Amino acid sequence: MFAVGLISGLTIGVMVTSLYHREKVRACMLQSSLQKELLYNTSHDYMTKIYNRAYFEQEVSKYNEDIDVPVGMILCDLDELKYINDQVGHEAGDELIKSAAQFLNQYSNEHIIVSRIGGDEFTILMINIEESNVIQLMKQIDYELMKYNLEDNTLTLKISKGYAYTDSSLGNMRQLRITADKAMYQNKRLRKSNLATLFIRDREERKVSSR
């Protein structure tokens, strides 16, 4: 009787210990999963699922204060988002933002970070690269954007962009951003001016042909 009771007690003890360890492992896995989810949510944009402004600012701070490498920055701004929101609706505007995010994020890799930093603003941060790589990517975006808009997509993507480059990031990230921002707005003004010129030229040609 004593031996049987001892064996039963040991069996129950082993089962309890095993159950305890299983629950502990499960709790650790759950905590790890929650931590990963929290980290993802704090670094990614809810709508587009790409990196958000907080993550972008964190990277800018890191390369401005701690790590000295060549950096290129491309600032992108969606054209006509307000028009889409007003004329078609905010759902269409949201779809345009998601499409732009997906389009730009295709260029992400270990040296390139794509982030959404505002309603219609995106950044492409290029780490430890040469200026020729930045120019090449600018041209590639133009080419791929033209192809994208020739496809059967519901909404047309129009993106103004500008870039800046430095071979030393320490202490220069703020000026890099200012320069890229100025270049982007210059590109936006040029695009609007070209559209206005095309409109006027078309109107004049129509006047001539109607005579």
Instruction: Tell me the CATH number at 175.
Output: 3.30.70.270
47 in any annotated domain: no
Q: What range does the domain containing 15 cover?
A: 1-40
Judge if 23 and 88 occupy the same domain.
no
> Averaged over 75-95, what is the pLDDT?
93
Annotate 73-90 with DSSP letters as a single string.
Answer: EEEEEETTHHHHHHHT-H
pLDDT averaged over every residue in the chain: 85
Judge if 99 and 138 occupy the same domain.
yes
Judge if 101 and 135 occupy the same domain.
yes
> Averaged over 62-83, what is the pLDDT?
96
Q: Kindly state the DSSP code that residue 68 receives in the 8-state scheme.
A: -
> Averaged over 163-177, what is the pLDDT?
98
> Averaged over 193-209, what is the pLDDT?
46
Judge if 76 and 167 occupy the same domain.
yes
48 in any annotated domain: no
Q: How far apart are the C-alpha atoms of 48 and 32, rounded to whole Å?
A: 24
Judge if 34 and 57 occupy the same domain.
no
Judge if 97 and 169 occupy the same domain.
yes
For the stretch 111-154, pLDDT in tens is 999 999 999 999 999 999 999 999 999 999 999 999 999 987 78
